[in-house]
Amino acid sequence: MYQMPNPETSPLVVLDAANIAYNYAESLNPGLQSQVGRQPNPHGIRLAIDYFLKNNCRVQAVVPISWYQLKPRPSDHYHLHNRSRQDSDAKMVTDDVEELRNLRQQGFLVACPPGDDDDAYSL
């Protein structure tokens, strides 16, 4: 686990986290992504963040805000039975929600506003 380096002495690296997650998933199973639908793998985001932290860079990974709407766990009866309610968060497309939760809690993920292009933030 790494801490964010000092902003006075470290450059800021902004990552396009969605593209990293999708490309990492594709690299693990080439060709499989097109057969079952593209599913991002957030572990790729963790690997990219760790790389830059090891090299004394500050890191912010930009994701679409919809990635904060997490898929419920099987034991989460409220969200499983209330998917249509506005306060349900059952819209996430990937099963690796723990990785995203951890990155968000550690302050590495930044969501772009709804309707904005997350690619524009990392350029």
Model confidence over 75-121: pLDDT tens digits?
A: 555 555 555 555 555 444 445 777 888 898 899 998 888 888 888 87
Containing 121, the helix (H) or strand (E) segment is helix 118-122
Q: Which of 28-32, 51-55, 78-82 has the lowest mean pLDDT?
A: 78-82
- Give the residue with greater pLDDT, 123 vs 115: 115
Mean pLDDT of 53-63: 94
| Three-point CA angle 86, 19, 61, nearest 5° | 70
pTM: 0.74
Length of the chain, in residues = 123
Q: What is the rounded average pLDDT for all residues in the chain? A: 78
